[in-house]
Structure 1
Amino acid sequence: MTGLPVRPELVGEVPYGAPQLDVPYLLNVNENPYPPSDAVAAEIATAVAAAVKTMNRYPERDAVALRADLAAYLGHGLTADQVWAANGSNEVMLHVLMAFGGPGRSVLSFAPTYSMYPEYARDTHTAWVTFPRRDDFTIDPVAAVDAIHDRQPDVIFVASPNNPTGTAVPSETLRAIATAATGVVVVDEAYHEFARTGTPSALGLLPEFPRLAITRTMSKAFAFAGGRVGYLAASREFVDALRVVRLPYHLSAITQTVARVALAHADELLAAVDRLRANRDDLAAWLADSGLQVADSDANFVLFGRFADRQAVWQALLDEGVLIRVVGPEGWLRVSAGTDEEMAAFKAALDQVLKTEEGRLQ
C-alpha cells in the first residue's frame, strides 16, 4: 500500500484470516465436520434453481421471511422484527458498531476474547477497550461492573461461550453487566448450541433489558460456514437501528433461500452437535491426562497449553497433516472438536510432539 493515502491506522495491517491449507485434518476454525445429507443437499439445489429464475430482480431487502424463520428457531416469543440477519455474525457485529459505536465512542470487551472484535472497532473508528478475565478465563462480575462504571463504554461485547477459551458466562454475570451498562450490550452466542446441558442462553434476559442483543451464527452448529449467515435477537428498536446502517440488498436471494432450507431441516443438521460435544469432552480429558492445562469449554473447541514455543508445536502438528490454531494467550493453542477419525489423528500427532523438544511445556 506504499504511496496510497491509506487511513493511518491501516498502515502495516494485514487481512484477517486463519490459514487455509490443503491438509488431511482441518481443526483450526471450529467448523462442523459433518456436511448436509444428500437429501438436504438435493432440496437446497432445488430451492436454488427456483431462486435463480428471479435473479434479474433484487432480493427481498430486509430478508423478512428468513428473519421469521430465525425467530421461530430461537423461540422465546421472538418475532421477525426482533431478529436481524446478515453475512455471518461478523457483519452483524459490524452493523452494531456502525449504529452504536463510531468516533468518540468506545466498545469494551473482556480479554482474551474473539480476535475480530478489535478489527470491527478499528474499521468503525470506535475506541477498543479491554478488561482482563480471571486466570481461569471467567469474568469477575464485581470487577466487570466497576470497569463499566469507570470507563462508560457505549457498547459492550461479551462472548459466551467465549472464543478462544470456550468459557460460558453465567446469567447472573450477564445480568450484572447489562444492569451496569449505559450503552448497549451484545452477548455473542456463536457457539451456544454446543454448551453443556444446563447452560442458559442470554435470550431469556431480553425482556428485562431493551439495550441487550444476542448474536448467533449458522456457521458452526448448522454446518453452514459456507452459507455465511449470522443473526441477532433484540428489541424492535435495536433491530431498526441496524436496518439504517446496512447496505442495500446485503443478503443475496441465494443466501436467503439456502438458509431457509437449512432452518427447515434444523433437527437433522443439528444432530451432530451431541457427537461433537462428546468428542470435545473426551478431547479435554485426554489433554488433561497428557499433563496439559485445559480451559473448560462449552464450545466445539478446546484451548490447551502451555507450551514454551507454541508455534513450534503448531508446525510439528502441521507436518503430520493436522492443522490447529495459534490463538489466545501466549503459550496456548486451540483445536476444534471433530470426527472420531480427526480426533484420533490429532491425538496421535500431539502424543508424538509431546515426546520431542518442540513439545516442551512452560
Structure 2
Amino acid sequence: MVDIGTRSSQGTATIEEVAAAAGVSRSTVSRVVNGSTSVSPAALEAVNRAISALNYVPNRAARSLATRQTHAIALVVPEETTRFFGDPFFAAIVSGINTRVNKSDYVLNLFIASDDPGDKTTSYLRSGSVDGAIIVSHHTSDTFIDRIAAAVPVVFGGRPVRARERDYYVDVDNVRGGQEVTEFLIGRGYRRIAMISGPLTMPAGVDRLEGFRQALDAAGLEPGPVEDGNFTADGGARAMERILEAPDRPDALFIASDLMARGALAVLNRSGIRVPDDIAIVGFDDSPVATTVSPHLTTMRQPSFTQGERMADVLLDLLADRDPPRVTMLNTELVIRDSVSTRAAGD
C-alpha cells in the first residue's frame, strides 16, 4: 500500500500537508493515492486538487519496501531532564504509552529536550528515523514541534499550544477540573481562595486557572492572589512565599499540581500555619505525592496512565490508516483527604 509523507529533494509536500489542504484525514489521502474506491466523490476531488496544488509525489517504490517503515515511535518531552525525572506525572504517562506500544510491532524512543538547539532532535525525527511521534508537556516557546508535526503523524498529550483543526490530542478537562476544585472549596465555606497555577505558557496552566476564575465569578467572589508555580515543588514553595506576603491571607488554596502543593506545604509548615486548620489546600493530579505529604492531599485525580494509553492508541491507529478521534477528553475526579476541613477556617 502506498502512503509516504516525506519530502522529496524538490521539497514536495507531506501527506499531512495534503490532508490539511484538502480538509480530510491522513488515511483518506492514503486511500486516494492507493486507488481505493471507499472515498466520497467530494473527498476525492478535494484530495486530488490538494495533491496538484502542493506537488505531492508519493514514492511508491520506497513505500513498497518493508524497510520503509522503521516501526519506531518517538516520545518527545520538551522539558528539562530534572523536571522529567522529578515529576510523577511523567512516570504515569510513559508507563501508559509503553504498555500499549509493547503490545504492538513498534518500539518507543524517548527524547527529552527543553529546546532543540541546532535542530538536532527535529532533524532526526524528520529524517525518516521514526514513523510517528507523541509530544507531551509542550510550551508556547516550543516552536520546533511544529516542524516535527509537519513531517510525521503526531499525537499531543494535552491541547496543543497552537491548536489546528488537523491536530490529534488526548487531554483531561482541565477547565472543568479547576471549576470543581474551586466549587468544592466554596461549598465547604471558604471565601478567600487563592491559587498557585501552572505556567501560562502551557494549556493545562491556562485551563485550570480559567476554571478557578469561572467558579469564583459564578459565586460572586473575588479571586485571591494567583501565583505561577511552574509545576515544580520549588516553584510551588516560592509561589507560597509570595502569597503569604499579601496583606489578606487566604483561607484556602487551589494548587494546580500535587508537586507544587508539596513545596507549598513545606513553606506553611516552616511558617507555623496549620493545614487544614488555618488554610485548606486542594491539589491536582492525585500522584503518589498526594499521600506522602502531611496532611494527605485532597486533590483532583487525572488519569495519567490512561491518557498515555489513549495517546498510543490514537497514534497506532493513525499509522495503521484507521481514523481515530481527533480529540479525546478524559474526566477528572475529586479525591477528598485531610487537607480540607469540613468547615472554613475561623467559622
TM-score (norm 2): 0.33
Higher RCO, 1 vs 2 (CA within 8 Å, ≥6 residues apart): 1
> TM-score normalized by structure 1?
0.32
